[in-house]
Amino acid sequence: MSSVLGTIFRTTTFGESHGKAVGCVVENCPAGLELKEEDIQPDLDRRKPGQSRITTQRKEPDTVSILSGTYQNKTTGAPISMVVYNEDQREKDYGNLEHVFRPSHADFTYHAKYGHRALTGGGRASARTTIGIVAAGAIAKKILSLKTNTVIAAYVSSIHKISLPLSFAIPEIGLLKREVEKNPVRCPDQKIAAEMEDLILQVSKEGDSVGGVIDLIIENPPVGLGSPTFDRLDALLASVMMGIPAVKGVEIGSGFSGSQMKGSEHNDAFYNDSGRIRTRSNFSGGIQGGISNGEPIYMRIAFKPTATIKKEQETVNDKGERVILRSAGRHDPCVLPRAVPIVEAAAALILTDQFLLNKFSKFENL
């Protein structure tokens, strides 16, 4: 069961939802970076459950401890291990699921593959495994902010059928980030965010769930990240996003809508901006030939509605018998508000890994 991400800046995540702890080990983080728990905790707080009335009411402080890899608050070059202890696990919530496969969750496939049920709240299929991604991602974000001008921002652009209008103009990225954190949905338009929040509360009362779309902007990425074949930057970003539980679709740049344009409309014309080669449009989403061209990278990530719902559903148990399931337990009626920091962290891990690898791209860089 592989849980490793990255080639050089390598993150291994561990732990299960209702086990003792979750966390990660980060290898090959360069020595000499100032690093304390306070660098990591803010993003974990944005991800943690129970932060508002539209998230799961499981109460977890999600307090991180750095166990190794730093000395006097500086990285040593040794593996950095970070742990978050689970405090509010309730295995009894899952008692009625012991032999039943929740529709569209990982229960059936986990059982078919490993021969046992990940009873502890979804085992490695649980979104608590993303704590390791967010913790490692906070280190990656710090490296990017100190060594590049790259800024990463994600926000909720739609929930079910409520979307930001096409006329929505993305503000300056610092302002965007502040607007996103002003409401529990993490949508930068406060009026649309209020509508989304009402919808999530309504479907939650009905024992149902909704999905939506998160938009991701990576501003000022270094030119030259990624490579032309399997480690294309777009492929790596798509892969890491598809690795987030409940993600069902990823678009980069013009995405599917680009397929309905002509080449003359879609091509991003180059121009010389005082010595820097730039493009007038950005349908490529900042990536051409698998390599970043320095323009902002745009992605859209589609999340399905949460699988576990209180409404009655038809399913089968592990004997193949028909069962009508009514799930108990605490669940997110919509996973998107908490997924925003996960998306940012996942992108930061890919960019940092590629940034470090890029040092080997030319002899003159050595």
Ligand X SMILES: Cc1cc2nc3c(=O)[nH]c(=O)nc-3n(C[C@H](O)[C@H](O)[C@H](O)COP(=O)(O)O)c2cc1C
Residues near ligand X (CB under 6 A) are 56, 105-106, 122, 125-127, 244-246, 304, 306-308, 331-332, 335, 338-339, 342
Do 240 and 346 contact (CB within 8 A), yes or no?
yes
SS3 159: strand
Q: Which is nearer to ligand X, 106 or 152 (CB)?
A: 106
Closer to ligand X by CB, 4 or 242: give it: 242
For residue 330, the minimal CB distance to ligand X (Å) is 7
105 versus 177: smaller Cβ distance to ligand X? 105
For every residue of 53-91, DSSP letters joined together read TTS--------EEEEESEETTEE-SSPEEEEEE--S--G
The sign of the dihedral angle between the CA atoms of 209, 329, 90, 87 is positive
Can you tell me whether residue 248 is helix, strand or coil? Answer: strand
Shortest distance (Å) from residue 9 CB to ligand X: 22
Q: Which is nearer to ligand X, 29 or 156 (CB)?
A: 156
Minimum CB distance to ligand X smaller for 68 or for 109: 109
Q: How far is the CB of 12 from ligand X (least distance, A)?
A: 19
Question: What are the φ and ψ backbone dihedral angles of 341, each rounded to 5 degrees?
Answer: -65, -25
Min dist. Cβ of residue 205 to ligand X (A): 16
User: CA 28 to CA 311: how far, in whole Å?
Assistant: 47
Residue closer to ligand X, measured from CB, 12 or 306:
306
Shortest gap between Cβ of 112 and ligand X (angstroms)? 14
Q: Min. distance of Cβ 43 from ligand X in angstroms? A: 13
First to last CA, the chain: 36
Task: Write the CB contacts of 287 (distance below 8 Å, at least 6 apart in sequence).
Answer: 226, 232, 233, 234, 252, 253, 293, 297
| Helices vs strands, H then E, count in the chain | 8, 18
Comparison of 77 and 103: residue with beta carbon closer to ligand X: 103
Least distance from C-beta 342 to ligand X, angstroms? 6
Contact 170, 236 (CB under 8 A): no
Other CB atoms closer than 10 Å to residue 194's CB: what's the count?
13
Helix pair 336-357, 37-47: axis angle to 10 deg: 140
Least distance (Å) between residue 74 CB and ligand X: 32
Nearer to ligand X, 56 or 358 (CB): 56
